[in-house]
Structure formats: C-alpha cells, structure tokens
Amino acid sequence: MIMKKALSRRTLLRSLGAALPLPLLDAMVPALTPLAQTVASPRRRFGVVYVPNGVIPGQWFPADTGSSFTLSPTLMPLAPVRDRLLVLSGLDSLPPAPPGERQFNNHADASTRFLTDVTPSRTLRAGVSIDQVAARTLSADALLPSLELALESVDSGMSCDFGRSCVYTGTIAWAGPTAPLPMERDPGVVFARMFGDGAADQATRLQLKGSLLDSLVGEISGLRSRVAAADRVTLGTYLDSVRDVERRIQRTMTENITLPRFDRPAGVPESFAEHARLMFDLQLLAYQGDVTRVTTFMLGREFSGRTYPEIGVPDAHHPISHHQRDPVRMDKCARINHYHVSLFAEYVNRLRDTPDGDGSLLDHVTLLYGAGMSEGNGHVPRNLPLLLVGGGSGTIRGGRHVRYAEGTPLANMHLGLLDTLGVRIDVHGNSTGPLSFD
C-alpha cells in the first residue's frame, strides 16, 4: 500500500438491498504519506446507557475516592476494565421547573433531564439532549447521525407521571425542545437500518433466513484480494460478527412465529439478556463499521414494571424501587442494578477486545452509564449514579472515583464531557461552567 491509492474510509460493499460499511483497515492508511497519521486516527464515539428507577446508593457508590477506591458490589462486574472506569458522584439534576409549573422530581423528569438538563413541561417541551449536540459534530460525515435504542416500548401499557406525556419516560434523546426521538427496540429493524439500502428488502431477507453477506460474496472476495493478510483477518472477524448478529435476529423471528407475541415485534427476543446483548452488539458493529458515532440506549424506561425471575426477582421493578427501606426489597433492587451492570460490562469487554486503529474501540469511545434519579424510593434527583467508561481517545483518565462538591449541576458534567469530545458549547440547561475530570 506504500505506492497504491488507499481505500476510502467511506468504502461500502453494495448489492441490491444491502450496503455494508467496513471497519478501519490498514489499506485505508497509505504508508509514508503526510496524511497517514491523520487518516489513521480513529473517530471519537459517544454512547449513553440509561437505567430506570434509580439504584441502591449504598451498593453503588464506592466508599473511598481517588485512584485507590474499592469497587462497590454493584460495580464489581466492571473490575476487568477498572482502568477505563471513572465513577462520578455528587452531581444533581435539579434544573428549574417551566414557568408556571411545579417541580415534581418524578420519573418523567428523571429520564428527560438526564441528557437535556431541562425539566419537561406539560405541553411536551424539553430541550436538546447532549447526544444530539455531539452528533452534529461527531457524526457529520457518518452514514447515520445517531442511533436511539431501547428494550421497552413507550406504548407498552405502563402509566406515566402526573399527567405528563408517556413520551417523556420513553426516550432520553431530543433533537430539539419539541422533538423527542423515538427509541427503536426491534433488533431486526436496527440491523436493516444499519446495513440495508432498503429496510423492506433487509427485513424480507432476515425473515427468509438469507444473509446480506450472501449477496456480497463477489464484493467481499474482490476486497480480500486487494488487501494484506492482517486486513483479511480484521475483515473476517468483522464479517463473522455481522453474520452472528444477523443469525441471532433470524432465530428470534423464527421462534416468534409460534410463540405468543403480545406487543413484542417479531425481532425482539423473549429473553431480556439476549435482547440486551443483541442491542449492545449492534452498537459495537455501528462503531466498528463507522455507521454512526453516537448512540443512546435505554436498558429500561422509567416506570418499568419488568420482572427478573432469571436472577431471583419475580417482583415488578418499579414497585419494589419504592422499597421503604425494607431490606428484602432493597436487596432485590440491588440485584437488578448488578444485573444491568453485568450486561453492560460484557459489552465494554467486547469493545476492549475489538481492534480500532492504534488501539481498541474502548480506547476511542466515551460511554456515559447511569440513572436520572439516585434512589427510586424517593425519586431523589441528587447525587446521581454515573459512570464514564472508555478512553475517549486519550481525553478520559479512568481508574478513579471523583466526588464533586454538593450541589454541582449535572449540566456542568455535560459541558465538560462535550469538551472532551471536541464539541464546544457555552451553556446547556442550568449549567454554570464545564466540569473537569482531573
């Protein structure tokens, strides 16, 4: 590749109804050229993972701060990536209520304010969320500006807060003050959006157990002949991952033909864990193939009544989050919190093990994980449970627990986070200045 023209970073393998983006290959970086270092620099990515109904703070927050902190019971699954983990405490989500309205600090407020730093109005109005602020810069030349994903639907029969629209509890992403973004929970639809020239063609192929890779055999073979051995290994691993996700979605569609579906789309697995893993894997593929650089993902919506019998919690999540200090209920909530972190940790480990440029995907992503209320028992909006995970392309120094002064606005963290992503704005919600992570 020293003398040859490099492959474009935007190379797509195309066939009828399919468009497959590629991971970063050495063939996209011609050696001994002035631009080599710039081209080789991987893209910055930003992801958000939201969990509902608060946590059990005593099981979540480490007792000590600094680099010598001990992982709490809830965060223990993240031990393998402790050096990429930044635990944040002391941040409050208390932006003022809209003019003429009361401040309730309820579930609708928790999910809406988590990224917008604006208290929602009764008239379906909030603010732009930071993921969308970041997407305008980070995904300016990506195939998709962003992906908004969830495991539960907004119309699944669960109640909403104080007469507020159920939209508030069903999304955390807002393109504008009156533009909430829908969260997609069907992995098949997400796959079709990421890899299809036409969603209908892709959905049909998935249902017929065909593969988009089958229609790209010639293109893939031609690419393999043009790249070096190392790139062929990278390409093979990536294609195997794409096919694995595709087959898992197809298996779910086949199983759901005979199973009672209720409000569950054909591509949604019955198992919570498999559903979560599929959605996490789709995000990994989206980063690896540079489909998008910004994702938001709700492991559950506020007011979630999901049960977790697989971990010994047959109780509905929301009711037991109002535990009234009952040790049995608190233990069950802590188990749910730990389970969510465990699934997230699996995803983080996969990011760590996926090469990307001069490091791994985990090196070049910043993930914000947390909840919009600290404790569900009292809908507490202070001292939110928050994690930053990933290297942020060298901008985030992990392996620490940082406790901020009491009353520090969550919005200040958002400004500081956007700064690390190379996105500069002066104010967001009730911010008073960007927070430092040092």
Phi/psi for 403 (5° steps) reads -110, 125
Contact criterion met (CB below 8 Å) for 299 and 52: yes
**Tens digits of pLDDT across the chain (438 residues):** 343 557 888 889 988 678 899 999 988 876 545 444 444 566 899 999 999 999 999 999 999 999 999 999 999 999 999 999 999 999 999 999 999 998 888 999 999 999 999 999 988 999 999 999 999 999 999 999 999 999 998 754 445 777 778 899 999 999 999 999 999 999 999 999 999 865 445 555 555 556 888 889 999 999 999 999 999 999 999 999 999 999 999 888 777 655 444 455 556 888 999 999 999 999 999 999 999 999 999 999 999 999 999 999 999 999 999 999 999 999 999 999 999 999 999 999 999 999 998 899 999 999 999 999 999 999 999 999 999 999 999 999 999 999 999 999 999 999 999 999 999 999 999 999 999 998
Phi/psi for 360 (5° steps) reads -125, 170
DSSP letter assigned to residue 418: H
Write out the two tokens for 354: 């996926």
Terminal alpha carbon distance of the chain: 41
Beta-carbon contacts of residue 433 (< 8 Å; ≥ 6 apart): 412, 415
Contact criterion met (CB below 8 Å) for 276 and 151: yes
Sign of the CA dihedral with 96 first, then 99, 100, and 106 last: negative
Environment class of 26 (CB within 10 Å of its CB; exposed 0-12, middle 13-18, buried 19+): middle
Domains of the chain: 1-41+188-267 (no CATH), 45-185+295-438 (3.40.720)
Strand partners for 61: none
